[in-house]
Amino acid sequence: MIISIITLFPEVFTYLDFSIIQRARNKGIAEINLVNPRDFTGDKHRTVDDMPYGGGRGMVLKPEPIYKAINHVKQDERGESFVILTSPQGILFDQSIARELSLKKHLVFLCGHYEGFDERISNAADMEISIGDYVLTGGELPTQVIIDAVVRLIPGVIEQESAEKDSFSNSLLDYPHYTRPQEFEGTKVPDVLLSGHHAKIEEWRKKEAIKRTLVRRPDLLEKAHLTEEEKKILEEVLIEEMRIMEDG
């Protein structure tokens, strides 16, 4: 996959030089290129923004340098580029979108700044994405969040089993994880994880994932595609939770 990032602040993308993303780049699985729209301006001040028509606060990014930057990064990709605009008005990013984007050959990210884009820039985007209902200074952080979630799903970046069992992979939160020491500050590792009984361990993990989702993110269960076994576990968890409430 090729990832092109159009940003006024390429120096903030140092996060992409570490950990799993860097390994993906070293393997040649992911290529990441940073493009500054100032390089596509025609004046000596390299102007990329201007005052908004109608008045108002702040400055707005001009469409010309952004369009030129997009066309520059798309020219070698034979129409297979997918352009993403990070925006508070976009659809809310989730694991299903990350999975969809991981199948693309070329992703182009537009990082907004100042008071936003000229509205006509949105016409160049195939998708507008938001990472949450809050406002950040620019689109650089959301872009890195999305890239992190997407790159780790590309085959060969991490073990397939790890990706399949991540939180949200099946609309459920992940089950609890434990390592040494066996007891820490009065809390012990559950006995089932020490039993060596793989079937029981797997059953415990499914139950804990469903229980955690029910308690912390019950909204996820409404759209989860549970197997018959998982539905039965959910019924058991609901009964247990009701008993706890009654006893409390």
Condensed to tens digits (0 to 9), the pLDDT of residues 89-100 reads 899 999 999 999
pLDDT in tens, 172-229: 998 999 999 999 999 999 999 999 999 999 999 999 999 999 999 999 998 888 999 9
Looking from the CA of 78 toward its CB, the CA atoms found within 13 Å total: 1
pLDDT of the residue at 93: 97
Question: What's the pLDDT tens digit per position in 48-62?
Answer: 999 999 988 889 999
pLDDT tens-digit map of 101-134: 999 999 999 998 867 789 999 999 999 999 999 9
The per-residue pLDDT for range 144-157, each reduced to its tens digit, is 999 999 999 999 99
Q: Does the annotation count 180 as an active-site position?
A: no
Is residue 152 annotated as a catalytic residue, yes or no?
yes
pLDDT of residue 75: 75
Q: Which residue has the higher pLDDT, 77 or 230?
A: 230
Question: Which residue in the list 77, 115, 128, 174 is annotated as catalytic?
Answer: 115
Q: Which fold has domain 183-247?
A: Trp Operon Repressor; Chain A (1.10.1270)
Which residue of the set 166, 174, 203, 212 is catalytic? 166
Q: When comparing pLDDT for 247 and 77, which is higher?
A: 247
| pLDDT for residue 78 | 65
The reported pLDDT for the residue numbered 214 is 94
Among this protein's residues, is 88 annotated catalytic? Answer: yes
Residue 169 in this model has a pLDDT that exceeds 90: no
Instruction: Domain ranges for the chain, please list them.
Output: 2-161, 183-247
pTM above 0.85, yes or no: yes
Domain 2-161 class in CATH: alpha beta
Catalytic residue among 49, 118, 142, 152: 152
Is 212 annotated in the active site? Answer: no
